[in-house]
Amino acid sequence: MTHRTRQNAFTLLELLTALALIAGLLAAIYGAYLAATDSTRRGQAHLNDARQARTTLAALARQCRSAYLPPAPTPSSGGPASLAPGFTLPVSSDGCASSAAFRAGDLPRGRILEILTTASRFTAQPDDPGLFHVAYRLDPAVGILYYCQQPYAPGRDLPPDASWLPLAQRVAAFQVSCFDGRNWQLAWDSTPRGLPRAVRLEITLGRRHTAPDAQGPGFFATTACLATASAALPQEPTP
């Protein structure tokens, strides 16, 4: 008489159940890994944006604080406005310097901000003496903020072949506001108004389709006070 020995083994249903559990566990682990990796990447990108924004705004604020407004001569003098030894500005018929020392807003050729400043270019080298004509423009198609800086030449704009260098990348919006002592203005021209009392610089990084004034993780701002503005702006009449 033949006796069959029963062997312990998994059934097909048990194998399929075990494989489903293992697959679910691996999917959960992989999902957690992807979430941690994405969080690390976004955190590193925010740190890079914050570092870039701080560097950019600090340099911009430094040049705004160093903005120079030449003294306008009296109409009877008929001579050029005196800047410093070796520097002159042409004078218009009303006795004011014809070149704006500080302009902000929607300027020609896509520029956002133009400054006549004593602060030199963005390098670690010591400042070069003299005056500099500095301009900034934003290319929204590629999200790059450019700047151009040339030694100041009386009566001349930046040359057409001037070099525009990238200052900040992943820029969604860049806005300049000027304070006149009462209100913040989005446009400014120093020719009739003098220098603003303060300049607020706002930059939004990384979010291309976000409103410029949305103060989210990529929004950074700073305010620069201009020490010479009080002397340049007209004084309120005393009663």
What is the pLDDT at residue 212?
A: 47
User: What percent of the chain lies above the pLDDT cut of 90?
Assistant: 15
CA–CA dist 135, 113 (Å, integer): 6
Band (178; pLDDT cuts 50, 70, 90):
very high
Q: Does residue 89 have a pLDDT over 80?
A: no
Band (146; pLDDT cuts 50, 70, 90):
very high
Q: pLDDT tens-digit profile of 210-233?
A: 444 455 568 899 999 887 644 444
What is the pLDDT at residue 145?
A: 93
Q: Does residue 111 have a pLDDT over 60?
A: yes
Instruction: Give me the chain's average pLDDT, please.
Output: 76
In this prediction, residues 54-82 reach a mean pLDDT of 72
3-state class of 225 per DSSP? Answer: strand
Q: pLDDT tens-digit profile of 21-44?
A: 999 898 989 888 888 888 888 888
Q: Does residue 70 have a pLDDT over 60?
A: yes
CA–CA dist 188, 105 (Å, integer): 7
Amino acid of residue 223 = T
- List the Cα angle 135/139/141 in 5-degree steps: 180
Q: pLDDT tens-digit profile of 150-172?
A: 888 776 777 777 889 999 888 98
Q: What are the boundaries of each domain within the chain?
A: 44-232
CA 187 to chain centre: 17
3-state class of 190 per DSSP? Answer: helix
